[in-house]
Amino acid sequence: AVEESSVDGLSMAFADWRFNLRLSNTEPVVRLNVESRGDAALMTAQTAELLALIDA
């Protein structure tokens, strides 16, 4: 990761994409937010990879 933070859950930023994984403040769920720099295929692939790691 190029940048990482644990201020609001776990946030990691890479060259072309980033994610934040955190507990919801209002619901008993974990939220995963994934963003890319305009590359929908990259965002989809990284989301699938993160979900596989979370489910493992």
Residue 15 makes CB contacts below 8 A (sequence gap 6+) with 2
Among 40, 38, 1, 41, CA closest to 18: 1
Domain extents for the chain? 3-55
- The fold adopted by the segment(s) 3-55 is TATA-Binding Protein (3.30.310)
How many other CB atoms are there within 10 angstroms of residue 34's CB atom? 19
pTM score of the predicted model: 0.86
Instruction: Please report, in tens digits, the pLDDT of each residue of the chain (56 residues total).
Output: 899 999 999 999 999 999 999 999 999 999 999 999 999 999 999 999 999 999 98
Rounded CA-CA distance 34/21 in Å is 9
* The pLDDT value given to residue 1: 81
Q: How far apart are alpha carbons 39 and 54 in whole angstroms? A: 23
